[in-house]
Amino acid sequence: MNLLGRLLPAVPLTTGALLLTGRFTVGRRRLDPAAPAAAVLALAATLGLAVAAALARPAVRFPLFGRLPAGLAVDGLSAALIVTVAAVSLAVVVFAAGEFGADESRARFFGLMLVFTGAMLVTVTATDLAVLLMGWEVMGAMSYALIGFWWRDPGRVGSADVSFLTTRAADLGLYFAAGAALAGTGSLDLAGLAAGRGHWPDLIAAGAVLAALGKSAQLPFSFWLSRAMDGPSPVSALLHSATMVAAGAYLLLRLGPLLTATGWAATLVAWAGALTALLLGAVALAQRDLKQLLAASTCAQIGFMVLAAGAGAVAGGTAQLVAHAAVKSLLFLAAGTWLSALGTKDLGELHGAARRYRLVGVTFGIGALALAAVPPLSLWATKDAVLAAALADSPALYAVGLAAGLLSAGYAGRALIAVTRPTGAAARGATGRHGTRRLGPLERLPLPVLALGAAVLGVLALPPVDGAWRDLLGAGGEPAASPAELAVSGALALVVLAVTWTFVRRGVRARAAWTAPALHWLHLERLARTLVARPVFALAQALARFDDRVIDGGVRVAAATGRRAAALADHRVEVRVDGLVDAVGRGARWLGAAARRPQTGQVHTYYAQAAVLLAVLILIVLLVR
């Protein structure tokens, strides 16, 4: 049992580490060709281990820092997540194995992907905050390395910087939470966080919520996900679906009891999720770039999970997470296919893409319809499960969530229509230039699998499977969506799709001034730069100036004073001392010359001197007596 628990993260982590370090020992040339196969095999094994672990529920316990209980364990929530993570990662890596050619640094890429996946597995199986933080941090670091994978392009590295700094800044909340947990409960155990005394649970919840919102790209941190699009498409597919952003949602779902215990945190989280779903849905609607649209839609969909966590709908939220992982990885892989095949991701230039690449088109269509929550596809059911819980919580929350759901139908419709419309005259030249690439079998293989998942995973939130699902997650008493709600939301999604289709057909365009904020992601990045980055830089510069002028200045003044004193000593004192020394020397010479004067060489002068001196001596003796 323990072995299983340890192997699950160990297989991808070890393989990844070997691939990464092997570049320096075996060499890229020999390692690169083997890397994709190794990664696929490792993740296939991981999937097998995940399934086994989901069934066997292993638990590993070990003391951390000498005394703190820590460990890895698979419970219902973890079981759902490890299987999802392993499956999606496998699908993405299989796709990447087909897409990444010999000209790429494959060992590095697949190594990073494996470590990324392994870190996510650690995060979702950790039973305490310390181990969770380890996985959390490694995942953040890997996301940085993956987003900036094409590091020769300064723009991509800049995007990696923004992503990493944003999530990393929010991560500090988790450290704060860990500290507070240690102080408040004396342990880092996740299950015991809500039992803290006094205001400690509030502090823990505040830190954890901050970190989760940052990692999940919820408001106000959403902008980093836009910048994260600069990574390779498989990275986006993985990062947006089962890892990274899902980690935040997972953490909130996991800490549900704590959020409830504080009283305010659950509401805050619910509203943060709902508002993110609504506003980022609007952002997605305004995007002209397919990957940006999908990124914003990720924020919005994760918003539903966060809303679920806040509303206490663990089953609904988890179902949403699992279904969304399949949908979003599918959509990103398809978008990535077109990007590499057609050289564009602009919605206006992708017309006809679905027709040219049928398999990609069909699977993308299933994914987009699922995203639009069209019955009976997956997100339709899961979203309604979440909304049912929101309704039980507060009607306003439900209204916002419902509106957000309508927006998702809108942007999914826009994307779907854009790729299925017949090729326009304007775009024909462009596609003609680029549309020569054939898709390999490895690239095709994951798409139908993921499409199947996107289509059917809704059953998790529908009778009769939903009961088992709740039992799995230990969330028996959650409200289920009533058939009426399901029907209304399904109908609304269809209506919105139709309206969207009509608008697009007629070429209706909203005024640029209205869409500008949404197009630019609500100017969140600029706000972050203005409100956070600039004051921090200003503070840093002020401190630097303080350092330069006051501290450094003090040192320099001290040095200058020393020099001045030295100069003073040189000009005033030294001259005199020197003069004194010279005078002593001259005096000694003069005295030496004088001392030889009596030595006349003539005996009569010697006699006289001797006599006189003896007389003087007699006088001295007589006088002193």
Partner 1 sequence: MTRENPADLLPELCVLGTAVTGLLTGSFLPRTRQWIVAVLCGTGLVAGLVTAGLAARRADLTTFDAFMLDPLTHVTRIVVTAATLLVIGLAAGPLRGHRRESEFHTLLMLAALGTIVLGAASDLLVLVAAYLLAGIPGYVLAGFGKDAPGTEAALKYYLMGAFLGILMLAGVTLLFGLGRGTSYETLAAGLGTAPGGAVAVGVVLLLAGLMFKAGAVPAHFWVPDVTEGAPRVVAAFVTTVPKIGAFAALYRFAVQALPPGRDDWPLLVAVIAAATMTLGNLAAFAQRNVRRLLAYSTIGQAGYLLVPIAMAGRTDLAEPALLFYLAGYAVTNLGAFAAVIAVGRDDLLAYTGLARRSPLLAVSLVVCLLGLVGTPPTAVFVGKLLIFGAALDGHYTWLAVAAAVNSVASVFYYLRWIVPMMRRRDGGGERRPAPSARWIAYAAAGGSLVLGIGAGIPLAIG
Closest approach, Cβ 546 to partner 1, in A, equals 54
Using H for helix, E for strand and C for coil, what is the string for 363-403? Answer: HHHHHHHHHCCCCCCHHHHHHHHHHHHHHHHCHHHHHHHHH
Type of residue at 314: V
Binding status of residue 599 toward partner 1 by CB under 8 A? yes
C-beta closer to partner 1: residue 425 or 595: 595
Q: Which stretch binds partner 1 (CB under 8 A): 213-221, 467-475, 493-501, 606-614?
A: 606-614
Binding status of residue 586 toward partner 1 by CB under 8 A? no
C-beta closer to partner 1: residue 538 or 616: 616
DSSP notation for 281-328: HHHHHH-SBHHHHHHHHHHHHHHHHHHHHHHT-HHHHHHHHHHHHHHH
Closest approach, Cβ 576 to partner 1, in A, equals 21
Instruction: Find out whether 408 and 373 touch, Cβ atoms under 8 Å.
Output: yes
C-beta closer to partner 1: residue 27 or 598: 598
Rounded CA-CA distance 401/383 in Å is 9
By the 10 Å C-beta count (0-12 exposed, 13-18 middle, 19+ buried), 114 is classed as: buried
DSSP notation for 231-289: S-HHHHHHHTTTSTHHHHHHHHHHTHHHHHHHSSHHHHHHHHHHHHHHHHHHHHHH-SB
Longest distance between any two alpha carbons in the chain, whole Å: 148
Rounded CA-CA distance 571/574 in Å is 6
C-beta closer to partner 1: residue 468 or 615: 615
Closest approach, Cβ 597 to partner 1, in A, equals 9
C-beta closer to partner 1: residue 543 or 616: 616
Binding status of residue 463 toward partner 1 by CB under 8 A? no
Closest approach, Cβ 612 to partner 1, in A, equals 8
Rounded CA-CA distance 563/96 in Å is 66
Closest approach, Cβ 622 to partner 1, in A, equals 5
Closest approach, Cβ 593 to partner 1, in A, equals 7
Binding status of residue 583 toward partner 1 by CB under 8 A? no
Binding status of residue 554 toward partner 1 by CB under 8 A? no
Using H for helix, E for strand and C for coil, what is the string for 543-562? Answer: HHHHHHHHHHHHHHHHHHHH
By the 10 Å C-beta count (0-12 exposed, 13-18 middle, 19+ buried), 452 is classed as: middle
Q: Which stretch binds partner 1 (CB under 8 A): 261-269, 328-336, 575-583, 604-612?
A: 604-612
Closest approach, Cβ 579 to partner 1, in A, equals 19
CB-side neighbour CA atoms (13 Å) of 421: 22
Q: Of the candidates 55, 540, 583, 588, which one interacts with partner 1 according to CB under 8 A?
A: 588
Q: Which residues pair with 126 in a beta bridge?
A: 72
C-beta closer to partner 1: residue 348 or 587: 587
Q: Of the candidates 559, 568, 573, 591, which one interacts with partner 1 according to CB under 8 A?
A: 591
Number of residues located near partner 1, criterion CB under 8 A: 26
Rounded CA-CA distance 208/173 in Å is 6
Rounded CA-CA distance 146/230 in Å is 10
Binding status of residue 513 toward partner 1 by CB under 8 A? no
Binding status of residue 512 toward partner 1 by CB under 8 A? no
Closest approach, Cβ 580 to partner 1, in A, equals 15
Binding status of residue 582 toward partner 1 by CB under 8 A? no
- The residue whose two tokens read 């009778």 is 463
Binding status of residue 580 toward partner 1 by CB under 8 A? no
Binding status of residue 613 toward partner 1 by CB under 8 A? yes
Q: Which residues pair with 63 in a beta bridge?
A: 69
C-beta closer to partner 1: residue 531 or 588: 588
Rounded CA-CA distance 61/566 in Å is 68
C-beta closer to partner 1: residue 55 or 619: 619
Token digits for 76? 């219902």
Instruction: Find out whether 7 and 81 touch, Cβ atoms under 8 Å.
Output: no
Binding status of residue 561 toward partner 1 by CB under 8 A? no
Binding status of residue 546 toward partner 1 by CB under 8 A? no
Residue 63, H or E segment:
strand 59-64
Binding status of residue 581 toward partner 1 by CB under 8 A? no
Binding status of residue 426 toward partner 1 by CB under 8 A? no
C-beta closer to partner 1: residue 567 or 584: 584
Collapsed DSSP state (helix, strand, coil) of residue 596: helix
Closest approach, Cβ 619 to partner 1, in A, equals 10
Q: Of the candidates 154, 463, 507, 592, which one interacts with partner 1 according to CB under 8 A?
A: 592
Binding status of residue 484 toward partner 1 by CB under 8 A? no
**DSSP class of 196:** -
- The residue whose two tokens read 């996510």 is 120
Closest approach, Cβ 621 to partner 1, in A, equals 4
Q: Which stretch binds partner 1 (CB under 8 A): 103-111, 383-391, 475-483, 600-608?
A: 600-608
C-beta closer to partner 1: residue 508 or 591: 591
Closest approach, Cβ 575 to partner 1, in A, equals 23
Binding status of residue 618 toward partner 1 by CB under 8 A? yes
Binding status of residue 2 toward partner 1 by CB under 8 A? no
Q: Which stretch binds partner 1 (CB under 8 A): 254-262, 276-284, 296-304, 599-607?
A: 599-607
- The residue whose two tokens read 């916002």 is 400
Distances 186 to 193, 207, 427 between C-alpha atoms, Å: 10, 17, 63
Closest approach, Cβ 605 to partner 1, in A, equals 8
C-beta closer to partner 1: residue 555 or 610: 610
Closest approach, Cβ 596 to partner 1, in A, equals 5
C-beta closer to partner 1: residue 513 or 621: 621
Rounded CA-CA distance 563/105 in Å is 57
The residues that touch partner 1, with contacts defined as CB under 8 A, are: 588-589, 591-596, 598-599, 601, 603, 606-607, 609-610, 612-614, 617-618, 620-622, 624-625
